[in-house]
Structure 1
C-alpha cells in the first residue's frame, strides 16, 4: 500500500483560519512542520508546531523544505497555489506521490467576483516576479486584465508604464487583501494615479483604454516596432518566413543570426508556451535583441552570443530553425546531419553566393525553393513609381 504524501500545500485566504475547511484544520493540527511566508504564518498564530519562515528569494526555501522531507509538513501559499503560485515550483522538485494540495480561492476569482468580470475572457497574469512588459501583447482598448503585483509601489510603476505606453486612459481597480478583514478596493486612471499607499497582497484589474500602439495579431509586425541598426528581416519577408516556419504551440525555434530578434520575438508572440533561442555573433546586437524582447513582453527569449554552428552545441533541440545570417555550407551540413527527422528549416538568401548554397541544399535534401520579389510605390517627381527591393530566395524543408 502506497504511503500517504508527507507534504500538503494549502492555499490560504486573507481571512486566515476563518476560511479553512474542517479537513484543512485537521491537516494543520497533525503537521510536524508548517512553512510559509511571514504573512501567512501570522494569519495562523495558534499553531504550536515547528514553524519555518519561507525566505526570499523563493528558491532559497526549497533546500529548507527538502531538509524536513518525510515529516508531516504543511506549506502555506496564497489562494490557488497552482495559478501563478508556488505550487508548481515545489512540485517540480518532488515525486508526484510525495505531495497533495488543498487549494483555496484564487485572487483572480476574488477579483473577478468584485468587478463582475468573466474570467474566461479576462487576461490573467502574475507580475509579482515578472516584468510589467509581460502585459504588452495584451494592450488594446476594451481588453480587461487582472494582474498580481509584487507590492504596493508596483501599483504606481504599473500606472506610469501604462501612461508612458499610450494607455494612460486605462481604468485601474486596485484591490488589496481580497477576502480578508483588510480588503480594500479603489479605482483611478493610469494617467492620474490616486493610490500611493497600497499594501501587499495587491492585485489590479485593468480596463485598457488609450491610443497607444496595439500589436497586430497577424505575423509581420511593423518594422518600427523593433529597435534596429538596419539588420532586420523586413515586415513582408518576416510574415512569409513565419508562415514557412509554421509555429505550433509549445515548439522551440533556433533563430540563427538574430539581428534585431524580430523573427524569434514574433515566434514567441504566437503562443505563451512557445520557446526560442536567438544566436547572434555580435554582442551589441545581442543586447539589442534583449531590449526588444523585454519591451515586447517576450523576456523568456534565450539569447546566445556566438557563431553557428559552434554556438549550437548543447542547446535544447529545436522544432524549427531560421537562418537569417551567417549562411554557409558548413552550417547547412551541420544542421541537416545533427538535427532529428521532422525538424523544419527555413533560410533566406539575398546574394548570388548564398542563393547558390540554397539551391545546392535543396538538391541534396529536397524541400521548396521560392523566389520573392517585392516592390513599393514611391514618389517619382509629382507621380509615383515602383521601387523594387532585392529579390529573396527562400528554402524551406522538413528533414
Structure 2
C-alpha cells in the first residue's frame, strides 16, 4: 500500500460570513484539497473550481471519501460557530481518530494528522454587539434539540441568573422562548438574527413589547438569544418552601414545611431522576422537588380533579416546566405501566397517562396519601422492575400499622422509620406556648 499523509482539520467558521473567519481557518480552507460541510458553509467557503467541495455534515460520509485517497491529501471539515461550543467537531474528532487508528493497522506507512481549530462563537459576537461580557453567563443550546426537553433549564437560569445565552434553531424557537421568558419579572431579551451577515439584526424586547413582537413578522433563520435579568431571584439551596407561599384551598391537605424538609432529604434525589408524588394534594412536595432542579422530572398523581387543578395553579405560580400533573386513582394509574395493559383504547386521557407512565418510570417516590391502597401501590411500583427509593408519611394508626408490618416482612429493603413531632410557637394573650401538632411517621425503603 502507498505511503501517504492525510491531514484533517476540523474548523469553526464563526457565524457564517467570511469576515468572521480567523486567518488560520481561512488558510486551512484555501489550501485544502477537499472541503466538507453543510451547504451553507461548504459552498460559501469552498472553491469548486479547484477543490472537491462536498455538501455533507455526516462524519461517515467524510470518512468514506477519505477512504479513496491513495496520495497526500488535505481535508477540512467546516462547522458553524466555535468548534468547542455545541459543535459537531468533538464527536467528529473521536470518530475520525478511531478510523485513523484502524487504517494505521492496515497500512503502517499511512499518516493521519487530525487537528481542531477554533472559530468565533455567536455568543461572543452577540455579547460584543450589545456591549456586555459573557464570562459569567449560563450557556445553553436549543439548536437542533427538542425545545421542550431543555427549556426548563433555560427558564430556571433566566429566573436566577443575570445572564443567559441560548442558541436557537429558528423562528419557532424564538416565538416560544419569547412567550415564556418574558413572563419572568425584570427580564430583557436580546435576539441576534443572521449575525455577521449583511441582513444582521439585533433586537431588544421587553415584557411590554412582547405582544407587539409576537404579532409581527418573525423571519426564519439563525438566531442567538441573550437573556438579561436585571434583578434575578435568589435560589435557596435548602428544602422547604414556606407553606404560606402556596395557593391553598379549604380542606385540601399539604405536607407540612418541616416534614417536607425531612422527606426531601430522605429521598436522596439526584439530577435527571424521575420523581412521583402519589397523593399530590395541594402540590407541596411536587413543587418543592421540582424547584430543586429543572433536570428532575416530576409526575404528580392526584385522585380528585379539583385538587389536580390546585396543583396546576401552584405549578404556574412557581413558574415550573418540569412537572406533569395526572388525575386518577394511584393504583390504577401505576397499573398502566403493566406490559399486559399497554394496548391503547378509545379513552384519550388514559392513553395520554399510559404514555407518560411508560416513558417515565420512577426513580424516587413519595406516598403522601394511600386511601387504604398502600399494599396495592407497592405491588404496582414493583412491576416497574427497577430500584425505586420510596418515602412515605403516616398519621393514622391504620397506615402506621401497615408500615410497621414491613419490618416483619421481606417486602422491601433498607426500611428506616422515624417519628417526627413538631411543636410551634403560638400566642395566648400576652403569653406564648409551644403547641404540639400530630406526630408523623416517616418511613423510607427500597424496592
Please confirm whether the aligned pair reaches a TM-score higher than 0.5, indicating the same fold: yes
Whole-angstrom distance in 2 between the partners of 1:371 and 1:22: 72
SS in 1 for 2:419: strand
Report how far residue 112 of structure 1 moved.
4.4
- Listed as ranges, the matches of 1:167-182 within 5 Å are 167=186, 170-182=187-199
Aligned Cα root-mean-square deviation (Å): 5.2
Which residue of structure 2 aligns with residue 79 of structure 1?
Answer: 81
- Which secondary structure does the structure 1 equivalent of 2:407 belong to? helix
Counterpart-to-counterpart distance in 2, 1:352 and 1:253: 27
Q: Which moved more, 1:293-302 or 1:364-373?
A: 293-302
CA distance in 1, matches of 2:310, 2:77: 41
Partner of 2:255: helix, strand, or coil?
coil
Describe the superposition over 1:82-111 as per-residue Cα deviations: whole angstroms up to 9, x where unpaired: 8567899x99xx99979x999854433434
CA distance in 1, matches of 2:153, 2:119: 26
| Superposition deviation, residue 335 in structure 1 | 4.4
Given the two structures, how large is their TM-score scaled by the length of structure 2? 0.60
Q: Corresponding residue for 1:145?
A: 164
Secondary structure at the residue paired with 1:249?
A: coil
Secondary structure of residue in 2 paired with 1:332:
helix
Give distance in 1, aligned partners of 2:121 and 2:309: 37
1:391 and 2:393 aligned: no
Contact 2:361 2:384 in 1 (8 A): no
Aligned residues of 2:42 and 2:53 also touching (Cα < 8 A):
no
Alignment check: 8 A CA contact 1:286 1:303 kept: yes
Q: 2:223 pairs with 195, 202, 207, which one? A: 202
Could you tell me how far apart the structure 2 residues matched to 1:358 and 1:378 are? 32
> Matched residues in 1 for 2:53 and 2:313: separation?
48
Is residue 11–residue 118 contact of structure 2 (8 Å, CA) maintained in 1?
yes
2:335 paired residue number: 310
Which residue of structure 2 aligns with residue 14 of structure 1?
A: 15
Report if aligned partners of 1:350, 1:391 keep a CA contact under 8 Å in 2: yes
Q: Distance in 1 between matches of 2:296 and 2:266?
A: 16
* CA distance in 1 between partners of 2:96 and 2:438 (Å): 56
Do the aligned residues in 2 keep the contact of 1:317 with 1:339 (CA within 8 Å)? no
**SS across alignment from 1:367:** strand
Counterpart of 1:233 in structure 2 is: 255
Of residues 355, 359, 365, the one that matches 1:321 is 365
Query: 2:378 maps to which residue?
Result: 332
2:421 maps to 373
What 5-or-longer segments of structure 1 have no aligned partner? 2-7, 55-64
1:15–1:181 Cα contact (<8 Å) kept? no
Distance (whole Å) between structure 2 residues aligned to residue 95 and residue 272 of structure 1: 35
Q: Is the 8 A contact 1:215 1:221 kept in 2?
A: no
Query: C-alpha offsets along residues 322-361 of structure 1, whole Å, 9 cap, x if unaligned?
Result: 21232512333554686556x4221111222111111222
Matched, 1:251 2:273: yes
Task: Write the mapping of 1:37-48 to structure 2, written as runs, cut at 5 A.
Answer: none
Partner of 1:61: none
Max Rg structure: 2
- Shift of the alpha carbon at 1:243? 0.5
Q: 1:122 aligns with which of 122, 129, 137?
A: 137
Alignment of 1:93-132 (within 5 A): 105-112=120-127, 114=129, 115-119=131-135, 121-126=136-141, 130=147
Give the paired residue count.
Answer: 373
Contact 1:122 1:145 in 2 (8 A): yes
How far apart are the structure 2 equivalents of 1:27 and 1:268?
51
**How far does residue 30 in structure 1 lie from its aligned partner after superposition?**
5.8
Q: Report the counterpart of residue 218 of structure 1 in structure 2.
A: 238
Residues 325-334 or 188-197, more deviating: 188-197
Is the Cα–Cα contact under 8 Å of residues 139 and 214 in structure 1 kept in the other structure?
Answer: no
* CA distance in structure 2 between the aligned counterparts of 1:87 and 1:259, rounded to whole angstroms: 48
Quote the residue 1:348 is aligned against: 393
Gaps of 5+ in 2: 2-8, 67-75, 100-113, 339-357
Deviation at 1:179, TM superposition (A): 3.8
